[in-house]
């Protein structure tokens, strides 16, 4: 949908317009239509690979778009963005307002690299002003692959369903041996404690996960401590060029052949 066309649609109607994700998930289409959709998805993957390949080691910060500048979680995310950038990592976010803006802003203010991976929605918002580069995606699943592929760690700040989705997607990849050496760092302990208590007590008690699955999470309110967990990342900004292309599985001796 072109920007020119969007401007002619009232906001209440725009929100109901079909998106590529919605059309894709509606069910089977003609074989010709499905073939060309595969090509469009492949093009989006290639575009993402090209845009993110040369960023160097990245860290993604997730959190709600609804927190304003005067909220303590906004300031926490801003401090995280600055600290991560000072370590030499590129700061990745969803490119929107709230926690995402705060993390990008922190990186931007200390001269770090700040990038937004934006998902295109009918009610899309403008990217925040603290981004050096924006990469747009039509499909959630393509965006999720890019964030895991190019991130060395996830910072999970207070947020909603999208934040939970990313946190537990990464947790599942670690649990099933698809990803190794990938720190998942929860910050805002008072906000996350009820959820973490459920995971720690109810899920472990019911044996739906192992205790070690819970202990893979790092939980802290200290920016300094959170950044120290990045020492566990396999690829760091201070590594030599020939070492920086190592994947997470290559750096873990327990990884399956």
The pLDDT of residue 97: 93
pLDDT in tens, 228-256: 999 988 787 875 544 444 444 433 334 33
Asked whether residue 123 carries a pLDDT value surpassing 80, the answer given is: no
Which of 228, 213, 192, 183 lies closest to 59, judged by CA? 183
Which of 88, 27, 84, 81 lies closest to 55, judged by CA? 88
Asked whether residue 139 carries a pLDDT value surpassing 50, the answer given is: yes
The pLDDT of residue 154: 95
The pLDDT of residue 254: 40
The pLDDT of residue 119: 86
The pLDDT of residue 124: 57
Rounded-to-integer distance, Cα 103 and Cα 91, Å: 7
Rounded-to-integer distance, Cα 102 and Cα 61, Å: 10
Rounded-to-integer distance, Cα 230 and Cα 236, Å: 8
pLDDT in tens, 192-230: 999 999 999 999 999 999 999 999 999 999 999 999 999
The pLDDT of residue 195: 97
Domains identified in the chain and CATH numbers = 44-234 (3.40.50.450)
Q: What mean pLDDT is reported for the chain? A: 85
pTM: 0.82
Annotate 204-240 with b (16+ C-beta within 10 A) or e (fewer): beeeeeeeebbeebbbbeebeebbeebeebbbbbebe
pLDDT in tens, 21-68: 677 777 888 899 899 999 999 999 999 999 999 999 999 999 999 999
């Amino acid at each position: 949908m072109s920007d020119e066309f969007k401007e002619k649609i009232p906001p209440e109607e725009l929100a109901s317009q079909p998106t590529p994700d919605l059309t894709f998930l509606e069910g089977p289409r003609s074989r010709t239509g499905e073939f060309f959709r595969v090509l469009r998805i492949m093009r989006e993957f290639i575009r993402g690979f090209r845009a993110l390949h040369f960023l160097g080691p990245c860290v993604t910060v997730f959190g709600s778009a609804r927190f304003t500048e005067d909220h303590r979680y906004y300031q926490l995310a801003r401090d995280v963005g600055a600290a991560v950038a000072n370590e030499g990592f590129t700061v990745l976010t969803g490119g929107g307002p709230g926690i995402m803006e705060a993390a990008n802003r922190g990186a931007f203010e200390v001269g770090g690299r700040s990038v937004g991976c934006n998902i295109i929605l009918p009610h899309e918002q403008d990217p925040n002003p603290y981004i050096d580069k924006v990469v747009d995606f039509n499909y959630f699943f393509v965006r999720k692959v890019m964030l895991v592929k190019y991130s060395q760690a996830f910072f999970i700040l207070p947020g909603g369903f999208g934040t939970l989705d990313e946190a537990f997607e990464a947790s599942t990849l670690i649990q099933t041996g698809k990803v190794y050496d990938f720190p998942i760092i929860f910050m805002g302990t008072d906000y996350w404690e009820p959820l973490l208590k459920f995971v720690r007590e109810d899920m472990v008690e019911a044996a739906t996960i192992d205790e070690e699955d819970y202990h893979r999470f790092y939980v802290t309110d200290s920016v300094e401590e959170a950044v120290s967990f990045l020492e566990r990342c396999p690829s760091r900004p201070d590594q030599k060029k020939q070492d920086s292309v190592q994947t997470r599985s290559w750096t873990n001796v327990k990884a399956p052949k």
